Structure 1
Amino acid sequence: MHQPWPVIERRAESTAIVEALGSTDGPRGVLLDGLAGTGKSTLIADSAASRNRPVKWMIGTTAAQHTPFGALAQRVDDTSPWKLAAMLSDSHKALAQEVRNGTIVVDDAHLLDPLSATLLNQLATDGAVSLVVAIRTGEPAPDAITALWKDRGFARITLGCFDRGETDTVLTAALGGPVECTTSERIWTTTQGNPLYLRHLVEGSLAAGSLRCSDGIWHLRGEPAITLELGLRLHRQCACAPLAARRVLALVAFGEPLDLTVLGELTSQESMLAAERFGLVRFSSEGSTLVARLAHPFLGEVVRKSVDVPAARRIRGELATRLGEDATGPIERIRAAELFLGSDRKASAPSLTAAAADATALCSFDSAETLARAAAAGGGGFQAQLIRAGALAWTDRGDEAERLLSALDVTGSAESDLVRWAVLRAGNLFWNLDARRRASDVLDSAGTHVTTPAGLDCLNAARATIDVSIGHASAAAKTACRIRDSSTAPPGALMWAGSAGCLALSLIGRGYEVPPWARQALSSADSDTSALRFAVGHGEVLALTYTGQFDRAECSAQQYLEMARNHDVAWFGMSSSFGKLELAMGRLDEARNRLESVIAILGRSNPVWRVLANLLLAQSLALSGRQTDGIAAVRRAEASFGENTLLYKPDLAIARAWISAGSGDLGAAIGLARRAADTAGEYGLLAVAAEAMHTAVRFGDRSVASRLTALSNVVDGFLIAPMAAQAVAMAASDCSGLLSAAARFDQLGARLLAADAYAQAAHSYRRAGDRRHQLGTSARAYSLAQQCGGARTPAILAAASPLPLTTREHEIALLAATKLTNHEIADRLAVSTRTVEGHLYRTFTKLDVSDRAELAETIRMENGQ
């Protein structure tokens, strides 16, 4: 490990234990229960040691569970009742004397023998010592132990597993750096926050090399591993179970989650109950179905490794055959097909091909590639190969996909197959291999053989996606809209058109049209176009962001992230879109953390998302005052630029403008922002042009008011009006106009835009000699900037500052603004009335206000009311 394993303080539980042990008018003891590995022993040791009293430990063990006084490690030669009673009395006296006014700690008390448990009950009765008794949740305990809290009044504390936040805290501390969000989610889901499992997973995955650090961000690639120690412990637990229970365990390990009906047909009810009794499996309801799952997250790995190859193949064959009989949905068909691959039975090529198509539709591309490869090897032919190539292309293995697609002979193929092949190959050539000319040639060549309107719609929709990526958004939108409204367009064409049209419309300023189109497009997704739903999602989130509908944008982004759970590239792409939204809302810390994680994991794959994520990160870093890191992000974006990222040329200029502004060169910054607006205008990207012009306004440019005003008549959304109003007010040095624009941004949730507008209003008030309004607006700008993670824009740095009051002056000003009298303020603060009067006099002078009404107005402005 990079650092000693961290311990999360269980403050509430520790306090409860210490209070129970120190009780003077009640039972001096506590019963602590929790699952194995939740940290009971560590908590008890820390709590007991904090009292500086004698402590004696007793530990229940399986080996001594049936030995009288086994927990005391005493040898009992004579088990007659008289002898045992005498030993019980002697042990009671000896322990009470040895630990008088101290604490006896009993760990794993559910494993105590009856006499040791009785001894503890007697000690609890006379109250000579304090007791801390720990048992494992779900395990049967001796009656004398359960009586401690049922009859003796002991406090009972349940120690749970870590929640998601605590798990993240432990991971960050243990690894010495931040953990990528999908990795922390995966680890928490796998371990369910169990501290023991968490530690063994981290240490095992580090040793196996699946838990790695890239650019300071930890991420998990491949399957997590566990330590040999935990593996042996779980293996011993399995070995103690009867043979029938181990049969159930093996079936569940290979087929989890397993329908209880299926499990019952392959084993017996008695065996199932035995497996549950030994803590190997658990039964639960999932929807309307009863299923069996493993009781521990890592049992599956241990069991599958322990079963010999012939037996494993036999079990998979049994499960595959039985599950295949009832498979009615895609998940069931995929599970059955995957089990067949490693079994002693053979699946047909058509069934494997169908399962591969199902996996593609669910964006489980690794499964799709494996199943399609097996189908092709078994005679699946063109269809299996096409599905496999698609899985390779959608997971950034463009070279492999191109080798496979170029080798396929499409001569004489049905038109529908030719179109599918051409669209897939062109998309792979363009987005993965940045080969625009070759992609166009493939579509053109296919077009000479396609005669049906449906086939031509598919080819034209694919061209539209290329057009929008090279900046020809208006042309792409026109083509996509025509296909959307066509009565002959097949689902595939509608999905390709939706992915192009939603992105194009969001960029050209017609964002209001996107959400309904996105819903329509998603309903057209099939196995060939399933991954395009994330291109649609990118367009939708972008449209909602550009139009200032931030709540809807956040909800939409979360939904697409959930859909992308099985597809890493899509996850990081949608995370980039989310980063754009967070940046627009002024959530700099969240945006920066999200984008840094994306960039660390994307590595050299997927140039489109890599360019976008780095440009957004550069802007967030510049806004945070980290110019050097921002320059590095811009350079990474520039290194990845190609024809498939021409769309982001204006964004590159905007990012460079923020770097220049952060360096203090506002002239260059304004020039770059104007250049970005010009380039966006040439491409017809009016929403981007508006963003670029408004960026120039935020830098102090007074020359773009007329252009922004013109755009406000053609660009959708709630943001464009205050953008134009700010530009007009800036040009006219209109204080109230700037204040009005700032308030509108504030209402929309665009906190950083509001902060800049307030800061510019403060500057205008200062030039007008209005000190009171200057201080109020600058204080509001400062407050918003702090809410945005301490943003450092030129306007904020030039004009924003908190009210120039001491802590006491500010406190009294706040109370005075609530209409309290001087006497009431004095009583509340326990000071003299004269002191209050003196502070208010100095406050009025500093803020240039004449009465309490003006003071209240200034305070309200500071607090954004």
Structure 2
Amino acid sequence: MGAALTGRDEELETIATVLDVGALLLTGPAGSGRSALLEEAAERATVSGIRVLRGAGSAFEADLPYAGLNQLLWPLHADVDGLGEAHREALRSAMGLDAGPAPDRLVVATATLTLLTRAAPVLLLVDDLHRIDAASATVVGFLARRLDGSGAALLAATDAGDDLAGIRTLAVGPLDESAATALLTASFPNLAGTVRRQLLAAAQGSPLALHELPAALTAAQRTGTHDLPDPLPLGPRLTALYGARLAPLPAPTRRLLLLVALDGPDGSAALATAGDLADLLPAERADLVAVDACRVRFREPLARSAVVALAPPGERRAAHRVLAESTDRPERRAWHLARATLGPDERVAGLLMRAAHSHRRRGDAAGAFAAMVRAADLSPRGADRSRRLAEAASVRTDVDLRGVSRLLGDARHADPGRHGSVPAAVASAHLVLNGDGDVDTAHRVLVAALDDRDPAHVDALHALLTVCAFGGRDELWVPFHAAVARLRPGPPTLLALGASLVADPARATPSDLALLDDLIGRLHDEVDPARIVAVGRAALFVDRMPACREAHRRVVRDGRRGGVVVAVARALVNLCLDAVRTGRWAEATRLAAEGQALCEAHGYQTLRWPLRFGAALVAAGQGDEATTQDLTAQMLRWSAARGACSVAQAAHHTLAVSALGRGDAEEAYRHAVEVSPPGRLAANAPLALWSAIDLVEAAVRTGREVEAAAHAAALGQVAALSPRLALVARAAAATVEPSNERFGAALAVPGGERWPFDLARVRLAYGEWLRRHHSTSAAREQLAAAQYAFEQLGAVPWTARAEAELRAAGATPAAGPAVLTPQEREIALLAATGLTNKEIGQRLHLSHRTVGAHLYRVFPKLGIGSRAALRDALSIPK
């Protein structure tokens, strides 16, 4: 079955029975895939040794009696002479083989039935039956009622609504969403996700539209580099189909339809300009639109595209001018004027720039970018064109980095004497940071461009904040903080939060936290995705992200439908790292994979690293050494080449967690001090809040009591920032000076279960201390709780540590197949049969490295040390 027949299994099953039932009529609108079904039926009949006779209705032959029958029976014309005299003469006359008077239709029909019965087995295929001439249609209807049992069969296709009375009918409807997606993906595998969703919505399951719409786009539009035009361009067959429906409409109807199509979703402005709504009645009768008192709706999205595509350019411009005068919405007026204007026009360009800034304030970066580019096109002066293209390039960095370099080049070309601008610096810094450049270069570009007289100055400071955060070095922050301090009457709220909670959360003030909590409380009403993710970034290291989740998920959902890409990527970063901290590790891994794919597709290379950090932390916690080492090695190489110390710190934190899980405290200490020196939480290093407990534990286990005590004291100074930090600060104090009271205080922190990995580590440390002090009953209680929590997380090495302590405390740890995840059990069962990792991976569509990592976790769960013991551990009969 070809790709065009994706999702048509039920229809093909019905068609397969046609030789038994004699006749079947396929009904459905043009473009529904009727002809493809006929073609598939022909191929299957030929393979089965059945002769296929084809015919199709045509408007050019509709007035020629028996033209369709001639086409259908021509391959059998030599057999006509074998019929009886009456039948022979009637059929030869009908087929135009002999001249003579018009034959009797019943005799022609009977002769045809006789001829087909003698030629059996034979399948008649008639496409576009509604266009066939009347005489042939009469014969086809006669045959349809008499072929049953004759060895001949009829399969015909026609427009929905036409039928042959008494003949079985099969309606060919639109493809469902799953089949439509499969068809589009198979035919155009390189479509960007947002483009695919837009095309699916427009095609509404029409196979023809699913083939023609993407084919009519440019390569840049298909990959999402350029925005899709509105309305969508149509392919030749779609244009012809809709053209045939629009052509019979009166000129006033077509003019009003054009106004409605250009007006937007409801056509309200078009209705306000309409002289007579009765002009829309022909379009309603043609089932093109639905009209009520204040709204016009196209019944099919492609009908709107066709109305615009088929209108001459002059008529389209005139319609835009009418709509510009009739709307009281400045943005709509600006766009209509822009589309009605041919040459440069500074007035219209200025209106479009105001519309662009309005789009941007609402978080619509794509709309702002489109308006800026069009404003640049309409700019008479090179300096204005250059400035607007530079600003468009800056905004484009929030949508897709591809094409930004070209825009900056066009800006320089438009005004060669211009020496850069703040928006150009912002765009250039993004290109540097996400390309082959380094943090210091991006930093120099932005610092040199700072100009508090420029409206884009705050944008530059937000970009500089990101550069400094990736750089993670004190000297980078100095010009940033100085520039923020110079702002009058003060920095905007989100910039102020970034200057404290993103730069150095360990030194956040109560007023910082109060401001953050206030902004979080308003997120349910926030529509700007950039503001949502900025609040989430500020919330992450002071443990407020759980309250931001729903707003972030909304950003991701909107992004999957075509929202701002960079906001979606940042939302995925925040959600991923939040999921790591709160023990939702499977979700964190999924979010990391989705975010990395998005960043790769749109050029945001820098944002891949916090996502890889999230994936690496999960791998480290679960004991997947291969993945941990691979990801952290990548992070260290990238950070060294680009001066991104925060990425290196993330790698060292990950390696410290991994080493502690293995029980290698010396290596854990070596990595932990790379994040923050003992005795203080390093400034401008947010990860110091996450890694502090690692340093304290590693210092205690390696005999560095002074360092451990100093770092526990530093951690105690930030305990008020969040309940999680209160938990780990108290745990650090108990690790340095163990006592029932100190460990009890850590476990008593309200809501500790929201951070299951941190809480389980406290219980493990407490249980170890209790066992060493011969409180074995209390130790077993804490250790069993830790073991269970680690098992739920899939934290294999930590589970093994808890189990070892439980055995030392005289308890038997629970183990066996029941603790395996479904995928671990499937892999273990396959391994028990003797399959290699590579063979298992091929069967389950996994890499051999992933299979090995799963088995690495399975063996300690089952209490075995080799593959040979799997069969017995899993209770598989020999």
Q: Does 1:800 align with 2:812?
A: no
1:356-378, Cα deviation, whole Å (9 max, x unpaired): 44312332234335656888999
Are 1:191 and 2:203 an aligned pair? yes
Q: Report the Cα distance in structure 1 between the residues aligned to 2:763 and 2:663, rounded to whole angstroms.
A: 24
| Residue aligning to 1:364 | 364
- Three-state SS of the structure 1 residue aligned to 2:199 is helix
**Equivalence for 1:630:** 631
Matches within 5 A, 1:196-275: 196-205=208-217, 208-212=219-223, 221-223=226-228, 229-230=236-237, 233=240, 237=244, 240-242=247-249, 244=251, 245-259=253-267, 262-263=270-271, 265-266=273-274, 269=277, 271-275=279-283
Question: Retained in 1: the 8 A contact 2:262–2:308?
Answer: yes
1:480 corresponds to 2:512: yes
Q: For residue 340 of structure 1, report the CA deviation from its aligned partner.
A: 1.4
SS class of match (1:531): helix
| Offset at residue 574 of structure 1 (A) | 1.9
Q: Find the counterpart in structure 1 of residue 441 from structure 2.
A: none
- From 170, 187, 197, the equivalent of 1:156 is 170
- Structure 2 CA distance for partners of 1:685 and 1:46, relative to 1, 3 Å: same
Q: 2:610 aligns with which of 609, 612, 629?
A: 612
272, 283, 294: which one aligns with 2:290:
283
Report the Cα distance in structure 2 between the residues aligned to 1:640 and 1:532, rounded to whole angstroms.
31
- Look up the match of 2:60: 63
- Determine helix, strand or coil for the equivalent of 1:57: strand
Tell me which amino acid in the other structure corresponds to 2:334: A
SS in 2 for 1:773: coil
- Give the partner amino acid of 1:800: K
Residue equivalent to 1:855: none
1:480–1:650 CA distance, 2 compared to 1 (3 A): same
Shift of 1:743: 4.3
What is the one-letter code of the residue matched to 2:317? R
Contact 1:778–1:802 at 8 Å: present in 2 too? no
Quick one: structure 1 residues 468 and 272, their matched pair in 2 at CA, closer, same or farther if it must change by over 3 Å?
same
Give the deviation of 1:172 after TM superposition: 4.6
Residues 509-545 of structure 1, C-alpha deviation per residue, up to 9 Å, x if partnerless? Answer: xxxxx5x7423256578xxx77323322555688889
C-alpha displacement at 1:7, in angstroms? 5.4
What amino acid is the match of 1:796? R
Q: Is the 8 A contact 1:627 1:663 kept in 2?
A: no
Q: Percent identity?
A: 16
Normalising by structure 2, report the TM-score: 0.65
Change in CA separation of 1:170 and 1:782 when aligned onto 2, cut-off 3 Å: closer
Q: Could you say what secondary structure the match of 1:586 adopts?
A: helix
Judge conservation of contact 2:461–2:480 (CA < 8 Å) in 1: yes
Q: Is this contact kept in 1: 2:127–2:157, CA < 8 A?
A: yes
In the alignment, is the contact (CA less than 8 A) between 2:22 and 2:153 conserved in 1? yes
**Corresponding residue number in structure 2 for 1:568:** 565
Report how far residue 271 of structure 1 moved.
Answer: 4.6
Q: Within 1, Cα distance between the matches of 2:662 and 2:113?
A: 77
Q: Secondary structure at the match of 1:297?
A: helix
- Alpha-carbon offset, residue 600 of structure 1: 0.9
What amino acid is the match of 2:54?
W
Query: Which residue of 2 is the match for residue 86 of structure 1?
Result: 107
Q: Which residue, out of 46, 65, 87, partners 2:40? A: 46
Change (3 A) 1:809 1:521: closer
| Partners of 1:722 and 1:745 within 8 A in 2 | yes
Report if the CA contact (8 A) 1:610-1:637 is conserved.
no
* 1:774 partner SS: coil
Residue equivalent to 1:135: 158
In 2, the alpha carbon distance for the partners of 1:312 and 1:765 equals 79
Note if contact 1:201-1:226 (Cα within 8 Å) is conserved in structure 2: yes
Kindly indicate whether the alpha-carbon contact (under 8 Å) linking 1:617 and 1:633 is maintained by their aligned counterparts in 2: no
Q: TM-score, normalised by structure 1?
A: 0.66
Task: Give, in whole Å, the separation in 1 of the partners of 2:277 and 2:65.
Answer: 35
Deviation at 1:603, TM superposition (A): 1.8
Segment drifting more, 266-275 vs 90-99: 266-275
For 1:295-336, what per-residue CA distance to the aligned partner results, in whole angstroms no more than 9, with x for missing partners?
Answer: 353863x665665554332221112212x14x4xxxxx4233
Where does 1:437-452 land on structure 2 (aligned, <5 Å)?
437-446=478-487, 450=488
Q: 1:176 deviation in Å?
A: 5.8
**Which residues of structure 1 form unaligned runs of 5+?**
213-218, 328-332, 408-416, 485-500, 502-513, 812-838, 843-865
CA distance, structure 1, for counterparts of residue 594 and residue 204 of structure 2: 23
Which residue matches 2:533? 534
Post-superposition shift, 1:228? 5.8
Per-residue CA deviation, residues 282-302 of structure 1 (Å, 9 max, x unaligned), is: 3378xx9532337353863x6
Matches within 5 A, 1:331-730: 333-343=330-340, 355-368=355-368, 371=371, 393-396=394-397, 403=421, 423-431=458-466, 436-446=477-487, 450=488, 455-456=489-490, 458=491, 462-470=495-503, 472-476=504-508, 478-481=510-513, 484=515, 501=516, 517-520=519-522, 523=525, 531-538=530-537, 553=549, 555-564=550-559, 565-580=562-577, 584-587=584-587, 590-603=590-603, 607=606, 609-616=607-614, 623=624, 625=626, 630=631, 633-634=634-635, 638=639, 650-655=649-654, 668=667, 671-672=670-671, 676=675, 681-682=681-682, 689-690=689-690, 706-707=731-732, 718-720=753-755, 723-729=758-764
State the partner residue of 2:15.
17
Q: Is the 8 A contact 1:591 1:620 kept in 2?
A: no
Q: Over residues 87-139 of structure 1, what are the superposed CA-to-partner deviations in whole Å (9 max), with x where a residue is unaligned? A: 23322333344344x543333334344444443333332213444333344xx
Q: Secondary structure at the match of 2:521?
A: helix
Distance 1:109 1:306, change over 3 A: closer
1:740 aligned to 766, 785, 797, which one? 785
1:339 is displaced (CA, Å) by 0.9
Q: 1:863 is matched with which residue?
A: none
Alignment partners' CA distance in 2, 1:712 and 1:676: 26
> Aligned residue pairs: how many?
710
| Structure 2 residue matching 1:160: 3-state secondary structure | coil
Counterpart CA distance in 1 for 2:189 and 2:625 is: 23
Q: SS state of the match for residue 59, structure 2?
A: coil
Letter matched to residue 46 of structure 1: E
Higher Cα Rg, which structure? 2
The separation in 1 between residues aligned to 2:616 and 2:782, in whole angstroms, is 31
| Closer/same/farther in 2, CA of residues 156 and 264 from structure 1, 3 Å limit | farther
Question: Separation in 1 of the partners of 2:116 and 2:615?
Answer: 65
Cα root mean square deviation, aligned: 5.5
* Paired position in structure 2 for 1:8: 6
In 2, Cα distance between the equivalents of 1:638 and 1:238? 61
Identify if the C-alpha distance between structure 1 residues 375 and 390 changes in structure 2 by more than 3 Å, giving closer, same or farther. closer
Letter aligned with residue 196 of structure 2: S
What is the CA–CA distance in structure 1 between the aligned matches of 2:595 and 2:290, rounded to whole Å?
Answer: 40
Contact 2:764–2:783 (8 Å) recurs in 1: yes
1:353–1:371 CA contact under 8 A, matched in 2? yes
- Distance in 2, Cα, partners of 1:45 & 1:594: 40
1:297 maps to 302
Tell me if the contact between 1:349 and 1:378 (Cα under 8 Å) persists in the aligned partners.
Answer: yes
* Larger displacement relative to structure 2 (7-16 or 434-443): 434-443
Does the 8 Å contact 1:317/1:343 carry over to 2? Answer: yes
* SS at 1:37 equivalent: coil
**Aligned mates of 1:424, 1:684 — CA distance in 2:** 21
Contiguous gaps of at least 5 residues in structure 2: 72-93, 398-403, 412-418, 426-451, 709-727, 736-742, 772-778, 829-843
Post-superposition offset of 1:586: 1.0
Secondary structure at the counterpart of residue 522 of structure 2? helix
Amino acid corresponding to residue 282 of structure 1 in structure 2: V
